[in-house]
Structures are given as C-alpha cells and as structure tokens.
Structure 1
Amino acid sequence: MSIENRINLEIDDTKKTAINTNLSGLKTELSPILIALPANQKKALPKIGEHYMDFVERAVEGADKNPMLVPPYINLEEVKVDMEAWKLLHSIERDLERLVSLLDDTATLSGSEAYSSMLSFYNFLKQAAKDGVPNAKPLYDNLKQYFPGTGNKSNTQNTEEE
C-alpha cells in the first residue's frame, strides 16, 4: 500500500529569501499606517462592507452637490480620505485573505502528508519492536513519548513507574 502524495513542494533558498524580503517590505510599508483596536472598541464601531461603501459614495456625491446641507461638524474632505483608505485597505485585505487561505491549505496538506507517512512508519516500527527487529525498540521508545496514554495497560504502568 502506498500513501498518496498530493504535494511535493520544495522551496529553495532563493525563493525563501524573496518571500521573506517581500513580507518584510509589506510589514515595513503597512506597519506605520495600521492601527490596533481593542476588541471592545472594534465591536462597538459600525461596520462597513462593499454594499455600505456604495451608500457612502452616493452620500458624499450628494453632499458635494449640496454643501449647504452638510452639518458643520462633518469634514467632507476627511470623509473622502477615509473612504479612499477603506477602498485600498479592503482590497489589500481581500487579496491577503485569499493568499492566507491558500497558504493554510498548502501548509495543511504538506503537514498532513508528512504526519500520515511518519505515523505509518511509527506503527510499522511499533510492530518491528514487538518482533525484536534490531534497532527498532530504541527508536520506537524515543517516538512513543508523543503518544502518551495510547499504549496498553502494562506500558502505561511501566511508564508511571519509571
């Protein structure tokens, strides 16, 4: 029986360096303009989505055409700056969410394949240790620590006595 290998991803040092450089550049550019909000403040803020941005744009257009209707406590130029910032940041956020989702899927598959293969090796090694295959028992004993409480009762008692 062969374990299906759906991914075989090797990332060379040049690619790793390029990725880290680009991530560092993104952090450098975004960090000075980003704000961290406490959870309670963030929860209390009215939220906007693309549908409501359409409302904001139409309201700004209406306010531009009818400045006499704009209350003096609203700075329309600041609203326009905030609106453009939201559009840019939301676009970046969507791109990053897609990228993070792909990163998560790829990392999940890579890790799953490595874990599944070595779990099969571990189970094979467990039987080899029981059968007295040379060098199997020390390696099995070294690896079984990752699975506490999964052995039989005599193994559990021996582990507790040690």
Structure 2
Amino acid sequence: MTIENRINLVVDDPKREAIETNLTGLKTELSTLLIALSPKQKKDLPKLGEHMMDFVERSYEGVGKNPTLAPSYIKMDEVKVDMEAWKLLHSIARDLEQLVSMLNDTATLCGSEAYSSMLSFYNYIKQASKDGVPGAKPLYDGLKHYFPGTGNSKDKTKDNEE
C-alpha cells in the first residue's frame, strides 16, 4: 500500500527566520494601532461591513455637500479618519484571513499525511505484535494507549491479565 504524499514542505532556517522576523515586525507595527474589545463591547457596537461602507461614504459625501444639514456633534474630520482606518484595517484583515486559511489548509494536509503514515505503521506493528514478530510488541504497547477502547474484548481481557 502506498500513501499519497501531496505535500513535501521543507522550510530551511533562513526561510524560517525570515518568516519569524516578518511576523514580529507585523506584530510590532500593528500593536501600536490595535485595541482589544471585550465580547460584550463587540456585541454592543454597530458593525460596518463592506456592504454598508457605501452608505457611510455616500453619507459622508452628503454632509460635505450639505454641511448645514449635519448635526454639530458629528466631527467630520474624525469620521474621515475612522473611514480611512477601517478601509486599511479591513484590507489587511482580508489579506491575513486568506493567508491564515491557506496556513491552516497546509498545516492540515501536512498533519494528515504524517498521521496517516504513522497510523499505517501502528496498524502494521499491531498485527506484527499479534503475529509474534520480535521487537513489535514493545513498540505496539508503547503506542496503543493513544487508541483507548479499540480492539476486541478478547484483546482487552488479555491486556488486563498481563
């Protein structure tokens, strides 16, 4: 039986260091700009998504053309800053979400291939242990605790007697 190897990802030390340096730089740059909200604070805030940004921009333009219609308590210079910040942060978040999704997919595939291969090894060693192949039983015994409750009741009874 051959296990398909769909990915063979090797990250050398220079690449790993470059990634870590860039992540550290990104965290450093963003940490001075970002805040954390509690779940309650997030829940209580009105949310702006891409579909409503058009509303915000059109309203902002409307105030610009008709400043006398805007309430005096709305600080338009602050609205402009907030709009520009939202656009930048939303764009960064979209890029990072795509990157995180690809990171998770790649990690999932790498982990799946490693797990599948070692599960095949485990099943091979399990059978070899039953067949009395020298050296197989200690390997099997060292691994079987990862799969509690598996095997037939005869094996469980035998294991309990030992």
TM-score, with length taken from structure 1 = 0.94
Q: Which residue of the partner structure matches residue 84 of structure 2?
A: 84
Deviation at 1:64, TM superposition (A): 1.3
Matched residues in 2 for 1:145 and 1:48: separation? 50
Q: Which residue of the partner structure matches residue 105 of structure 1?
A: 105
SS of 1:53's partner is helix
Greater relative contact order (Cα 8 A, min sep 6): structure 1 or 2?
A: 2
Cα-to-partner distance string for 1:9-49 (whole Å, 9 max, x where unaligned): 11111111111111111110111211111112211211111
1:53-64, aligned counterparts within 5 Å?
A: 53-64=53-64
Alignment-mate amino acid for residue 3 of structure 1: I
Aligned residues: 162
Indicate whether 1:114 and 2:114 are aligned.
yes
Matched residues in 2 for 1:81 and 1:104: separation? 34
SS of 2:106's partner is helix
Matched residues in 1 for 2:33 and 2:67: separation? 30
Cα-to-partner distance string for 1:40-89 (whole Å, 9 max, x where unaligned): 22112111111211111111111112111111110000000000000000
Q: Which residue of the partner structure matches residue 72 of structure 1?
A: 72
Q: Which residue of the partner structure matches residue 33 of structure 2?
A: 33
RMSD: 1.4
Q: Which runs of 5+ in 2 are unaligned?
A: none
Q: Which runs of 5+ in 1 are unaligned?
A: none
Runs of 4+ in 1 over 4 A off after TM superposition: 157-162
Cα-to-partner distance string for 1:83-124 (whole Å, 9 max, x where unaligned): 000000000000001001100110000000000010001000
SS of 1:118's partner is helix
Deviation at 1:158, TM superposition (A): 5.6
Q: 1:34 to 1:123 in 2, by over 3 A?
A: same
Cα-to-partner distance string for 1:143-162 (whole Å, 9 max, x where unaligned): 11111111332443465677
Matched residues in 2 for 1:17 and 1:129: separation? 43
Q: Which residue of the partner structure matches residue 43 of structure 1?
A: 43
